[in-house]
Amino acid sequence: MASKIHGVLTALITPFKDGAIDKKSFQKLIRRQLDEGVQGFVINGTTAESPTLTLKEARELFEIAKTEVGGKVPLVVGSGTNSTATTCELSREISQWKPDAVLVVVPYYNKPSQRGLSAHFREVARAATVPVLLYDVPSRTVAALAPETVADLSREKNIIGIKDATGEMSKLAKIREQAEDDFIYLSGDDATCVDYFIGGGSGVISVSSHIIAREMREAFVTAGKDPKAASAVYKAKYFELMKWLFIEANPVPVKMALHWMGVIDSPEMRLPLVPLDEKFHKDFKACLKALGKLN
């Protein structure tokens, strides 16, 4: 199934209610996503509020998703931390759940060198018994993977691809020039994901797909036929949505939107995140109404 990691994958939020996981809302969300044509899911990622989830809760979410998905699409689980030893331990444990891959973020706060990043990911790749996806998101981690480091890691037996949230098309081009031919490239930046796909990407791990999954799939299909038109239409139509979905830290806005849409019962967050500031509600709702997502 790891070879089928492509197209539109949703980085799932975690619905909470009274401090606990809201299982019914989570099931409802997954079913709606499958109906919209989503091609895979990431569980226990940043969008899931992974820093506040216990390992037991992450497994509970995975088991619910596994049951709902029934093998139809790949399931990826986040296992990255800023400690190599802890990441290896988590990756070993999560590998036993049999996901299709683990998603491993660049260690945050430590600011490792490229040599340190290379050593970190090699250790994790040896610890995990399922495929590893690198996750480069310097807006959250400070440190970033250089194209040469990614290309070198693509030759590591168990590292199969990258989620690239930099939005830098030149970086994609540089990596593709040097990396292994079967390496998987997934955008982690919704605003530029169509351009990333046009530039040789395999798909996107998305937040926006909670709201516009079908539309994103259609944009990728159009991009294969008319790249310029697909890029222009996507940017023009969804620029406002992207702005509102990241007006506060992800996943604060998307959880509020899903609540307004009746997909999840509550927009509850876990501290230190709190629900979307009311000053944004009116205009955000207007954006969703204009897209036909709210009555």
Catalytic residues: 135, 163
User: Could you identify the residue written with the tokens 């996107």?
Assistant: 204
User: What is the SS3 string spanning the chain?
Assistant: CHHHCCEEEEECCCCEECCEECHHHHHHHHHHHHHCCCCCEEECCHHHCHHHCCHHHHHHHHHHHHHHHCCCCCEEEECCCCCHHHHHHHHHHHHCCCCCEEEEECCCCCCCCHHHHHHHHHHHHHHCCCCEEEEECHHHHCCCCCHHHHHHHCCCCCEEEEEECCCCHHHHHHHHHHCCCCCEEEECCHHHHHHHHHCCCCEEEECCHHHHHHHHHHHHHHHHHCHHHHHHHHHHHHHHHHHHHCCCCCCHHHHHHHHHCCCCCCCCCCCCCCCCCHHHHHHHHHHHHHCCCCC
Amino acid at 2: A
